[in-house]
């Protein structure tokens, strides 16, 4: 070790001056010059003596210790300890200086590239704008992926998934295989599945984080037409005409003759390719309507389909078969923002006339239950959403059950 090197380590390489070297090192990494004054709030006697030896004069009194970096730089140069002054001294003691600003800029550019394809898709899908902001504010993508490169792979796949949504009657595994090249890419627990499910909730008008559990996950995917499997997706109906030529048709015929509700799986409906003939089909949101109609009307109940909240893939498939059979639809649901969001999805998909589901019907029902949640439009009757916003109460479907059953009972055969 040379004399200059030994002297440098004696002056600045000890524990008592480590704080000073560390401060200068951080400044240099941040792209700031080693000038000005640094202060140690509470200095030990040893730290104060080390600075006095370094500068060759008293370091002041009091608890704090202030050091002029310009004076240290000048001393190192004038004494011949380092020709490059304080910067050179810190490099020799701590190693090369990182360019944190450059690293941060490069990292920011990498993350921007990671989101590029997704952002291009969101730019054309205004319904996803809030969800995209949520991704940014929560940092969920950075938590789920280790690097920007890994995030780019996941987000590119996510964009491919979203380009296919909503997509009625599509199995989740097939969606994953066709968009990601991996039939299990959207399986529960995978980072991409977490992101895709939050996007599905956004498209369905649900909270982005959503509830946990298999039922909530199944419902969120079903809201955009994706089903997890053919057997767990169900639809409840009553009074639908069947036929004697297919298994599903025979089930419907038997249930209608008995006046009993019928539960169909997506598997059954996917295998039933014939249109289901019908005239006016009423759609309700809650199973209690179907149960009451079966109790009161039995075999005389006209065609009734229950959406069961967010329509499942089985619900959409049944409505599709009914529409192909010439059916027209009338809809009733809960008078709350969630109910309007569900109805809007049904209206967009198959169209309907409101069944006691307009502004006048809402105003006629007393309720003290407060209306909460995010407002949603009612395209079949724009005044309904405005009336709900003004009144601020929700009306559950059960409160008008007698009127609904009376309508069903008076329907022409």
- How far is residue 311's CA from residue 376's CA, in Å, rounded to a whole number? 17
324: its two tokens? 């192909």
Which stretches does DSSP call E strand in 16-132? 37-40, 65-68
Nearest CA to 341 out of 179, 165, 127, 130 is that of: 127
Report which of residues 309 and 353 the model is more confident about.
353
Tell me the chain's radius of gyration from C-alpha atoms. Answer: 35
Distance between the two ends of the chain, CA-based, in angstroms?
106
Question: 144: exposed, middle or buried (C-beta count within 10 Å: 0-12, 13-18, 19+)?
Answer: middle
Closest by CA to 222, choosing from 316, 319, 157, is 316
For 23-76, what is each residue's pLDDT tens digit? 999 999 988 999 999 999 998 999 999 998 988 888 777 789 999 999 999 999
Distance CA 100, CA 103 (A): 5
Token couple for 223: 């809201």
- Report the percent of the chain where pLDDT is more than 90: 68
Question: What tokens were used for 126?
Answer: 């205004």
Distance, CA of 93 to chain centre = 48
Q: How confident is the model at residue 2 (pLDDT cuts 50, 70, 90)?
A: low
Among positive and negative, which fits the CA dihedral 229, 232, 237, 243?
positive
233: helix, strand or coil: coil
Closest among 213, 327, 312 to 263, alpha carbons compared:
312
Please tell me the distance from the alpha carbon of residue 182 to that of residue 246, in angstroms, as a whole number: 35
Phi, psi of 113 (to 5 degrees): -65, -35
Q: How far apart are CA 356 and CA 343, in angstroms?
A: 13
> Using CA of residue 306, residue 323, residue 403, residue 385, what is the dihedral sign?
positive
| Domains delineated in the chain | 3-98 (no CATH), 109-227 (no CATH), 234-410 (3.40.1360)
CB contact at 8 A, 389 and 382: no
Question: pTM for this one?
Answer: 0.57
Whether pLDDT at 307 is above 90: yes
Give the pLDDT confidence score for residue 5 in this predicted structure: 83
Residue 240 Ramachandran class (φ > 0 left, ψ -120 to 50 alpha, else beta): beta
pLDDT of res. 1: 55
Residue linked to tokens 């809201």: 223
Question: Mind listing the pLDDT tens digit for each residue in 170-225?
Answer: 888 999 999 999 999 998 889 999 999 999 999 988 888 876 677 788 888 888 88
Q: Which of 260-264, 371-375, 389-393 has the lowest mean pLDDT?
A: 371-375
What SS3 class is residue 354?
strand
Burial class (CB in 10 A: 0-12, 13-18, 19+), 236: buried
Rounded to an integer, the average pLDDT of 155-164 is 95
Comparing CA positions, the residue from 226, 233, 182 lying closest to residue 200 is: 226
The pLDDT tens digits of the residues spanning 90-140 come to 999 998 988 888 888 888 899 999 999 999 999 999 899 999 999 999 999
């Amino acid at each position: 070790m040379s004399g200059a090197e030994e002297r440098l380590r004696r002056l600045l390489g000890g524990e008592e001056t480590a704080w000073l070297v560390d401060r200068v090192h951080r400044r240099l990494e941040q792209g700031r010059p080693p000038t000005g004054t640094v202060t140690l709030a509470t200095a030990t006697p040893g730290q104060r003596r080390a600075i006095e030896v370094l500068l060759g004069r008293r370091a002041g009194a009091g608890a704090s210790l202030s050091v002029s970096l310009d004076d240290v730089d000048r001393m190192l140069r004038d004494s011949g300890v380092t020709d490059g002054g304080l910067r050179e001294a810190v490099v020799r003691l701590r190693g090369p200086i990182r360019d944190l600003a450059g690293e941060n800029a490069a990292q920011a550019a990498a993350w921007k590239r990671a989101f590029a394809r997704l952002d291009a898709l969101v730019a054309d899908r205004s319904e996803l704008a809030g969800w995209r902001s949520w991704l940014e504010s929560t940092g969920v993508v950075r938590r789920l992926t280790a690097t920007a490169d890994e995030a780019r792979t996941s987000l590119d796949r996510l964009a491919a998934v979203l380009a296919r949504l909503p997509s009625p009657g599509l199995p989740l595994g097939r969606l994953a295989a066709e968009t990601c090249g991996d039939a299990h890419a959207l399986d529960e627990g995978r980072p991409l599945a977490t992101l895709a499910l939050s996007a599905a909730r956004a498209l369905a008008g649900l909270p982005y984080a959503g509830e946990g559990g298999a039922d909530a996950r199944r419902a969120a995917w079903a809201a955009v037409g994706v089903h997890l499997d053919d057997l767990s997706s169900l639809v409840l109906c009553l009074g639908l005409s069947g036929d004697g030529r297919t298994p599903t048709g025979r089930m419907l015929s038997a249930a209608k003759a008995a006046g009993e509700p019928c539960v169909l799986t997506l598997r059954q409906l996917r295998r039933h390719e014939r249109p289901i003939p019908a005239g006016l089909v009423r759609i309700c949101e809650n199973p209690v309507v179907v149960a009451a109609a079966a109790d009161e009307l039995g075999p005389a109940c006209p065609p009734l389909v229950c959406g069961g909240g967010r329509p499942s893939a089985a619900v959409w498939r049944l409505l599709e078969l009914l529409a192909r059979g010439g059916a027209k639809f009338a809809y009733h649901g809960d008078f709350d923002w969630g109910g309007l969001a569900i109805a809007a999805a049904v209206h967009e998909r198959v169209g309907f006339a409101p069944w006691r589901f307009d502004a006048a019907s809402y105003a006629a029902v007393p309720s003290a239950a407060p209306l909460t949640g995010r407002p949603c439009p009612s395209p079949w009757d724009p005044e309904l959403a405005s009336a709900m916003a003004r009144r601020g109460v929700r009306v559950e479907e059960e409160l008008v059950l007698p009127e609904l059953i009376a309508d069903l009972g008076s329907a022409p055969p």
